[in-house]
Structure 1
Amino acid sequence: MELAEEFGRYLDHISEGLGRSERKTGLRHYCHGLMLPLKRKSMEPLAAAIDPEHVPARHQSLQHFMTDSPWSDEGVLSRVQSWVLPKMQPGRKGWVFLIADDTGIPKAGSHSVGVARQYCGQLGKTDNCQVAVSLSIATAGASLPIKYRLYLPESWTDDRSRCDAADVPEDVVFRTKPQISLAQIKEAKAAGLPGDVVAGDAGYGDDTDYREGITGLGLLYVLGIKPGTSVWAPGSGPLPPKPWSGRGTKPTRLRRDEAHQPVTVKALAMALPPSAYRKLTWREGTNTKLASRFAAVRVRAAHRDYLGDVPRDEEWLLIEWPKGEPEPTKYFLSTLPADISRKELVAAAKIRWRIERDYQELKQEFGLNNFEGRNWRGFHHHATLCIAAYGFVLGARLTHGDDIKKNAVIGAPPALPENYTPRGARSTSASCGRLDSDAALGHCSRARATSDTLPVLRKGSAAGILP
C-alpha cells in the first residue's frame, strides 16, 4: 500500500493548478488507467478498465478532458519535474545533460494531426506516422522527458483548413526539428531547469545554426554529425582576410584557396593512423561488456566560415570505428573541455541511450503511441500524462530501488461486466458511435525498437588527439 498511497499524493501534487475539480478527477482517472496492465491505452480501453459499469459515460468524460479541456501541459509537466528532478543526482563531473531527440508514431490515414509520410524511428523507415520532438533531462542514473512537441510537416502548415480541422493553434507555423528543439532548450533555461550539456544525434548536430544556438545560450554540446560534415583538420584553418591595400573597403572575410581547404570528417577519420584509435569498454550489455574503437581530434567546424571574420573555436571530433567495419560508423562534434579524457568524452556522447530506453518504456508500458484522437490538444495532453505516469515510476525507482514496476503501484484492472462489448466487435448499447474504435483490451502496437547500446571513456593528452 505504500506505493499506492505515494501515487495518490503524487497525483494530488501534479493536479494542483488545474482549477476545476472535474479536471483533477480526469487527470487522476487517466493516470490511474495508464498504470494498469492493459494491452492498449487509448480512451475506450482506459474507460473500460477504470469504470467497467459505465464505459460509454466514462469514455465521453475522458474524451472531453483530453481533447477539449484547455488545461496546461507545461503546468502539469512542471509539477512532474518538481517531484522527480530533486531525486536525480548529477554524475561524477556534476554535469546535467539535455537530450534532444524525436520519436515516430505509426499512423494509418491522413486526418490525425501531423500525420504524413516521413521517417519513423520506431519502424526504421519512411512511412505514415506522426513525429514528436522532445527534450529530456539526464544524469548518470536517470532521465526524464521535460518537453514534448508535435512536428508539423509543411504539408500541414501550408494547409490552414487542414490545421483548423485538427484544432492546431493559429500561431503554430512550420519549424524544423532543430528549430523546435532549440526553442525547447531556451524555454528550459528560461524556466531555470538544470542543464549543462546538450546531447543529440546527427539530425540535430549537423545543423550549424543549432550548434551555434546552443553555444549562444552558454551551454556545451556533444552532438552527432554526418560523415560529410566539413571541418579543418588539426593544425589547419581558413586563411585570414586579404591584406588591405589602403583603398576601398577593408577586407574582413576569411578565405580559402587550393592549398587551404576543409575536409569531410569521414576523409579525416580514414586518414588517421591506426594508433589514433583506442578500444574502450563502456557498460555491461545483455551478455557481455560493450566495446568499440574511438579516436578524438581537435578540429574547427568549416561550414560557411568564409562568411565570418574569425575562425570558429576548436572543438572535439569524436570518431567511432568498430573493429571489423570497413569505415567509421559514428561521428560527434563536442565543445566539452579540451582537457577531457577520451573515456569521459565517449560517455557524454553515448548518454543518448537513456532516452531510447525511456521511449521504449513509455510506448510499451504507458501507451505513448496509443492515442487515437485527431486533434492537437489531445495529442499533447495524452503525451503529458504518459510522461507523468512514467515520472512517478522513475521517482519511485530512484527512491526505493531499480526493481520497482508500475504493476507494483496499481493492481490488476477490475473485471469487465459480462454484457460489455468493445466498439468494433458488434453493435450493442455499450458502444458509442462518437468514440474511437479500439477494442477495450486490443492488440499491443509495436513498440519502439530497442536502441543500440552506446559507449563511455579514458584519460590522456596530446596535441589535438586524445590518447
Structure 2
Amino acid sequence: MSVVALSPDQAQSPTRHELSYAPPCNVSLPEMCSRLFASLPRSDQRRKGMDYIRGLLEVRGRKSIRNIAALVGGQATEQSLHHFISDSSWEWGPVRRALAWYTVSVVPPQAWVVRPMVIPKAGRHSVGVERRFFPEHGQMLNAQQAVGVWAVGEEASVPVNWRLQLSPAWLAEDRRRRASIPDDASAETLGECSLRAYLETAAWRLPSRPLVMDARGGDITSTVSQLLDRGTQMMLRVDDSLRLSVRDPALKGFDTTPRPVHQIMSASRGLQRPVVWPGDGAVRCSGLVTAVRVALPAAAGRRAGRGDGDLLLLGLGNNDRRRPREVWLTDLTSVPPAFLMRLRGMLSRVDQDLAHGADQVGIRDFAGRSYRGWHRHVTLASAAHVLAALGDADDAELGYAS
C-alpha cells in the first residue's frame, strides 16, 4: 500500500483509498533541458545551464563553480559559469516553474511536502546567513535557512521550489545592495517562509494534492485559515499549546471554549486506538493514534469562511500509552488514520532524499554571496536531483540542440 492523492470527493468517501500510480518515464539531460530552458532566449545560456547541471551530476566532491568548470571546460569556462549563475540576467522563476511541471510528469505526486533546509556556513557574508539556535540540531549554528517544496511520489521525492528565509538585518540598505536582494523581498519567520513557499508553488496550478508540513513554532491558526481559504487539503504537525475548540461528541463535558491541545489529548486517552500503516518498502509501522474532531477558534474560522467546518486532531504515541509524542491537525476528516499516518511519514521520506539525493548533487554547495546566485544554483541542483533520482545521468550527452 502507498498513498493516493485525494480529490475533495475522494476525501469524503471511506471506500476510495486505493492507490493509483503511473511509473515514471525515463528522463535524460537533453530532454529535460529542452523544457527547462525554453524561457531563455539565448542558446549560449541554454548550453551553460546544461553544462552546470551536468557538472552537478558528475563532479566528485564539492559542486563548486570551479570544480564544475574543470569538468566541462577550464578557466575561461569558470568565469563564464560564474557570470551565468551570479550576474546574468536570466530569470530563475520561469525555469523553476518549468521544472515543477516537468517533475509532475515523471514523478506523479501523492503529496506536497514543505521542509526546511539548514545550510551551515563558515562566514557571515552569504545571503541570509545568521547565527541562531536550530532545535532539530540542538545547537547554535552559523547558517542559512531555506524552505523547499517537494513533490513526493511512489518512487521518489524531488524539490520543485525554494524560498530563502531572510531576517530584518538582511534588509538593511547596505546588505540588501551587496547581496542583490530584490526590493520585494521581506523579512519572514520560518512559518511565514514555509507558507509563502507553498502558496507560491500552488499558484503554478500544479496538481492538487494534500500538503504535509511541520507547522510548529508558527502562527498555526493563520496558516490553517489561509489554507482553508484556498481549499488546500492539509496534514500539519502542530504545537501542543495550540488552542482549539472540541467538536467531538465522544468527549463529554467540553463546551466550545478553545483549549490547548495537550489538555484535549489528556482528556482523550480513552479514544486511543492501535494503528498499523505501511512504511518504506516492506516495513510496517505501528502506534497508538488518538483522533478528536476539533475546530479553529470561532473568530479565525469565520475569517477563513469555514467556521462550521470540523478538523481532525491526531495524537501519535507509543504502545506504552504515554502522552502523544506528536500532534497533527488535518482537514481530511473522513479518511482512515492509517492513511494519515502514511502522509505523516512523507516528512521522513523527504529528509532521506535530501541527505542521499539532493545533497549528492550539491543543493547546499553554493559558495557565492548573492541572492540571485543562490536561487539559480538551487534551481539547477533541483533539476540535477530529478535526473539523479530517475534518469540515466551516465548516458547524458553534453550537446544541446539550440
TM-score, length of structure 1 as denominator length: 0.71
The verdict on how the C-alpha distance between 1:73 and 1:131 changes in structure 2, with shifts beyond 3 A counting, is same
Structure 2 residue aligned with 1:270 = 266
- Please say if residues 84 and 395 of structure 1, whose CA atoms lie closer than 8 Å, have aligned partners that are also in contact: no
Offset of 1:305 from its aligned partner?
A: 5.2
Give me the whole-angstrom Cα distance separating, in 2, the residues matched to 1:263 and 1:33: 54
Partners of 1:333 and 1:108 lie apart in 2 by 38
Q: CA deviation at 1:285?
A: 7.2
Other-structure match for 2:153: 139
What corresponds to 1:343 in structure 2?
338
Residue of structure 2 aligned with 1:194, choices 207, 213, 230: 207
Find the aligned partners of 1:215 and 1:37 in 2 and give their Cα distance: 44
**Structure 1 residues 312 and 156, CA gap change in structure 2 (3 angstroms):** farther
Distance 1:204 1:313, change over 3 A: farther
- 2:16 maps to none
TM-score normalised per structure 2: 0.82
Q: Deviations over 1:281-306 (max 9, x none)?
A: 431479x6332221111112338659
User: What is the aligned partner in structure 2 of residue 203 from structure 1?
Assistant: 216
Q: Distance in 1 between matches of 2:197 and 2:231?
A: 15
2:376 matched residue in structure 1? 381
Q: Give 1:177's aligned residue.
A: 190
> Which residue number corresponds to residue 163 of structure 1?
176
User: Which one is further off, 170-179 or 104-113?
Assistant: 170-179
Partners of 2:382 and 2:306 lie apart in 1 by 44
Q: Determine the C-alpha separation between the residues in 1 that align with 2:358 and 2:321.
A: 32
Q: How much has 1:363 moved relative to structure 2?
A: 4.3
What is aligned with 1:73?
A: 92
Partner of 2:389 in structure 1? Answer: 394
Match in the other structure for 1:31? 53
Q: 1:275 deviation in Å?
A: 5.3
Please tell me whether the aligned partners of residues 280 and 294 of structure 1 are also in contact (alpha carbons under 8 angstroms): no
CA contact (8 A) 1:204 1:224 kept: no
1:12/1:89 Cα in 2 relative to 1: closer, same or farther (>3 Å)?
Answer: closer
SS in 2 for 1:377: helix
Q: Figure out how many residues of one structure are paired with residues of the other and give that number.
A: 368
Cross-structure match for 1:42 = 64
Larger radius of gyration: 1
Cα distance in 2 for residues equivalent to 1:306 and 1:201? 21
Which runs of 5 or more structure 1 residues have no equivalent in the other structure? 91-95, 237-257, 397-403, 412-467
Does the C-alpha gap of structure 1 residues 10 and 196 become closer, same or farther in structure 2, counting only changes over 3 Å? closer
Gaps of 5+ in 2: 1-24, 398-402
Aligned 8 A contact 1:366 1:389 in 2: yes
Residue 30 of structure 2 aligns with an amino acid whose one-letter code is G
Structure 1 residue identity aligned to 2:70 = A
- Does structure 2 conserve the Cα–Cα contact (< 8 Å) formed by 1:315 and 1:335? yes
Secondary structure of residue in 2 paired with 1:117: strand
Deviation at 1:20, TM superposition (A): 1.8
Deviation at 1:62, TM superposition (A): 1.1
Q: 1:62 to 1:284 in 2, by over 3 A?
A: closer
Describe the SS at the equivalent of 2:208. coil
1:323-376 per-residue CA deviation (whole Å, 9 max, x = no partner) reads 34742111111001x321111222223322232223213443101111110011
Deviations 1:188-210 (A, max 9, x none): 33322112322100337752111
Contact 1:106/1:120 (<8 A) preserved: no
Deviations 1:82-140 (A, max 9, x none): 333123336xxxxx422222211001221110000134477453311001122222334
The question of whether the paired residues in 1 share the 8 Å contact of 2:316 and 2:327 is answered with: yes
Q: What is the CA-CA distance between 1:64 and the residue it aligns to?
A: 0.6
SS at 2:279's partner residue? strand
Deviates more, 1:105-114 or 1:277-286: 277-286
Give the equivalent residue in structure 1 for 2:83: 64
Structure 2 CA distance for aligned equivalents of residues 147 and 364 of structure 1: 16
Q: Which moved more, 1:186-195 or 1:364-373?
A: 186-195
Tell me which residue corresponds to 1:331.
Answer: 327
Paired position in structure 2 for 1:111: 125
Per-residue deviation at 1:78?
A: 2.6
Q: In the aligned structure 2, how far is the partner of 1:326 from the partner of 1:296?
A: 15
Q: Distance in 2 between matches of 1:82 and 1:35?
A: 21
Runs of 4+ more than 6 Å apart:
306-310
C-alpha contact (below 8 Å) 1:144/1:391 kept by paired residues: yes
- Taking the aligned partners of 1:44 and 1:121, their CA distance within structure 2 comes to 34
Q: Over residues 303-330 of structure 1, what are the superposed CA-to-partner deviations in whole Å (9 max), with x where a residue is unaligned?
A: 8659979955211001111134742111
Q: Counterpart of 2:6?
A: none
Instruction: Specify the code of the residue in structure 2 equivalent to 1:143.
Output: S
Match for residue 41 of structure 2?
A: 19
Paired-residue identity, % = 25
Do 2:48 and 2:81's aligned partners in 1 also have CA atoms closer than 8 Å? yes
